[in-house]
Amino acid sequence: MTTKKLPIQSEALQALQSQLHKAFPRLASGKYVHFFLVRHSRSFPVFQTDGVLNTARVQAGLQSTKMMSRLVIFKRKQVTPERLMGRELLRALGLTSGNEGDANYCQYNGENTCKKCPDCIIYGFAIGNQGSERSKVYSDSAFSLTPYEISHQSFTFNAPSEAGTMSEQGEMRSSINELDHVLPEVNFPAVETLRDPTWEAFIYVLGNLLRTKRYGAQESRTGTMTNHIVGIALCDGEVFSNLHFTQALYDALKARGEINGPIADICQQASQVAQELLTQEPVTKQQLIFGEALEQLLADVTHIYQSSDQLRTVLETLYGQTTTYAQEYGALHGAKEEGKRKGRKRRDQGDESDATESEQETLF
Amino acid sequence: MPIYQCTLTLHDNVFFATREMGILYETEKYLHNWALSYALFAGIHVMQSYRLVGPDAQRPSYLDPTSEQNLLPLNKEGIYVFPAKPLQWSYQVHTFKAAQVHYYAEAVKFGDCTGNFPINYGRAKELAVGSIYQTYILAPETVQIPRWIRLGKWAAKVHVQIQTIAEVESGSGSYICTHPLNPLDLPPATRLLLYNRIVMPPSSLVSHAQLEGDYWLIEKRTYLPRGVAYGANYPQIHSPTCPSH
B94: contact with A, CB 8 A cutoff: yes
Which residues of A fall within a CB distance of 8 Å from B128? 56
Residue A2 falls in which region: left (phi positive, over 0), alpha (psi -120 to 50) or beta: alpha
Asked if residue B65 has pLDDT above 50, the reply is yes
B169 min Cα distance to partner chain A (Å): 31
A7: closest CA of chain B, how far (Å) = 33
Whether a cis peptide bond, with omega within 30° of 0, leads into B235 is no
* Residues of chain B contacting residue A82, judged by C-beta atoms under 8 Å apart: none
pLDDT at A219: 78
Pairwise pLDDT comparison (A47 vs A157), residue with the higher score: A47
Read off the pLDDT of residues B185-209 as tens digits, 9 standing for 90 and up: 999 999 999 999 999 999 999 999 9
Residues 196-225 (A) with a CB less than 8 A from some CB of B: 196, 217, 219
Let me know how many helices (H) and strands (E) chain B has, helices first.
3, 15
pLDDT of A338 higher than 60: no
For A148, the 3-state DSSP assignment is helix
pLDDT band at A362 (very low <50, low <70, confident <90, very high): very low
- Beta carbons of B51 and A131 less than 8 angstroms apart: yes
- A277/chain B closest Cα distance in angstroms: 13
Tens digits of residue pLDDT in A99-120: 999 999 999 988 889 999 999 9
Which residues make Cβ contacts (< 8 Å) with residue A189, sequence separation at least 6?
A36, A37, A38, A39, A142, A143, A145, A242, A245, A246, A249, A270
| Strand duo B168-177 + B148-151: pairing | unpaired
pLDDT in tens, B155-191: 999 999 999 999 999 999 999 999 999 999 999 999 9
Choose among B50, B111, B155: nearest Cβ to A28: B50
pLDDT in tens, A243-270: 999 999 999 999 998 898 999 999 999 9
Quote the pTM value: 0.90
pLDDT-based confidence at residue B21 (cuts at 50, 70, 90):
confident
Query: Does the distance separating the beta carbons of B184 and A363 come in below 8 Å?
Result: yes
Q: ipTM, 2 decimals? A: 0.89
Note the pLDDT of residue A360: 29
Choose among B151, B86, B124, B129: nearest CA to A246.
Answer: B129
Q: How confident is the model at residue A126 (pLDDT cuts 50, 70, 90)?
A: confident
Asked whether the predicted pLDDT for residue A201 surpasses 80, the reply is yes
CB B237 within 8 A of CB B63: yes
What is the predicted pLDDT for the residue at A334?
61
Cα separation, A337 vs B53, in Å, equals 9
